[in-house]
Amino acid sequence: MQDEARRQTLCGGPTNDSMKSPQGVSFARAWQAYTHPQKDVWAAQKAQKTRRRSAPLALRPSQLPRLSLPHPPAKRNQGVPVAATPSRLLSSVRETLRRKHYSLRTEASYLSWIRRFILFHGKRHPRDMGKPEIESFLTHLAVQRQVAASTQNQALSAILFLYRQVLNMEVEPPIHSIRARRSHHLPTVLSKEEAGQILGCMAGSRQLMAKLLYGSGLRLMECLRLRVKDIDFAQRQVLVREGKGPRDRVTMLPESLIPPLREHLQRVHLLHEQALQEGHGLVSLPYALESKYPLAETEWMWQYLFPSPRLSTDPRNGATRRHHADPSSLQRAIHRAARLAGIEKHVSCHTLRHSFATHLLENGYQRSDPAGDIRTVQELLGHKDVKTTMIYTHVLNRGGLAVRSPLDQPHAAPTRVTDALPP
């Protein structure tokens, strides 16, 4: 009777396996645990071992990877539609740049300067900063980093773009900061013999590109972005699309380049036909021409004049296409050619463009060639201001403003001192 009382006190009723507690344990099991506690411990241990054997393999708590908790969201100011996190801010900057049709090189440069501006001020959000922080960053670039004036102006343009176009905040001019002093460097110019030696040390498509730089006065990216339709053999001219500015212009096509260019286009055409058979042959088109002309990306006239040997992924939409040749390949080829020719000058791709302008002006002054007129050279080079073209006239002065050195002037033969002495 005492055991029955104890059972009813613990379980709250008679023994019935069908009656379950809210926790899903039968009353008989609860009574057994009360009367025989040691047996229940043994049963619990056996059940735990069974569960371990049937459970899938799991890592111990010490073997689990450490998870970094996300940072709490930054506070936002009311009325500002721009995200507060730097990553979302840079995404907004990238979207604005692409909406305004900025080039990928400008996009990468602006994003880099904006990131450096934020890191310089301890990852503060730009809308919490203003004119004093911009001035301190520009002063740091000029004093500590000792950057050139053009580099400092590029950083200022990127920051002003961030505030005016992305954050919709106006920065009141002027910006009082220590500005880098603009230097007036004369361009490095090759003689006609040196230019011929460099071109003679090159071969293949790299030589053809270098000849276009020197024979047509193209910039590096203008040469690489040429398409098949931009070469006019009948008019002997090259159409430069969206040069620096962006502005279109027409420049000359040397007659000596017509035969090698035709052979080069034949080889490129065969590669394009082979790529089309393999399911490739697509090329990137400017702006919305891809949707306006759906079949233009496979047409021959839209292909690059100097295509890349391998396919690449378009960073704008992720499509796999064939881009133009890498600019670093031509830069390295010209550098190696200058070393092989034994020219002790700092020669780059732009040096050939400098030489083109200088030699045109030199021929015009010597032979009264109309192509050597300063205005004609300005149009061929695509300069907005004639003052930029006037810098190439330094070679025509023959040094020292055409003043002859006294060492080069004829003079009487020196007399001996003993002849002037009295006997």
> Tell me, what's the pLDDT at 50?
60
> Tell me, what's the pLDDT at 66?
45
Using the 8-state DSSP alphabet, how is residue 144 labeled?
T
Radius of gyration (Cα) for the chain, nearest Å? 39
CATH superfamily of 187-402: Intergrase catalytic core (1.10.443.10)
Segments of the chain with pLDDT less than 70: 1-86, 365-372, 395-405, 411-423
What's the rounded Cα separation, in Å, for the pair 346 and 186? 13
Q: Where in the chain is the domain with CATH 1.10.443.10?
A: 187-402
> Tell me, what's the pLDDT at 250?
93
Crossing angle between the packed helical segments 349-367 and 327-340, to the nearest 10 degrees: 60
Q: Where in the chain is the domain with CATH 1.10.150.130?
A: 86-166
Question: Closest Cα to residue 275, out of 295, 294, 293, 300?
Answer: 300
Reported as a single tens digit per residue, the pLDDT across 251-285 is 999 999 999 999 999 999 998 898 888 888 888 88
This model's pTM is above 0.75: no
What's the rounded Cα separation, in Å, for the pair 251 and 215? 10
Tell the residue number behind the tokens 């922080």, with chain if given.
Answer: 133
SS3 assignment, position 348:
coil
> Tell me, what's the pLDDT at 377?
87
What tokens does 60 get?
Answer: 């111990």
246 cis-preceded (ω within 30 degrees of 0): yes
SS3 assignment, position 183:
coil
Cβ atoms of 327 and 224 within 8 Å: the answer is yes
Cβ atoms of 143 and 178 within 8 Å: the answer is yes
The residues assigned a catalytic role are 219, 244, 350, 353, 383, 392
Which CATH topology does 86-166 take?
Answer: DNA polymerase; domain 1 (1.10.150)
Question: Closest Cα to residue 296, out of 315, 307, 281?
Answer: 281
Measured from the Cβ of residue 67, the count of other Cβ atoms closer than 10 Å reads 6
What's the rounded Cα separation, in Å, for the pair 117 and 85? 15
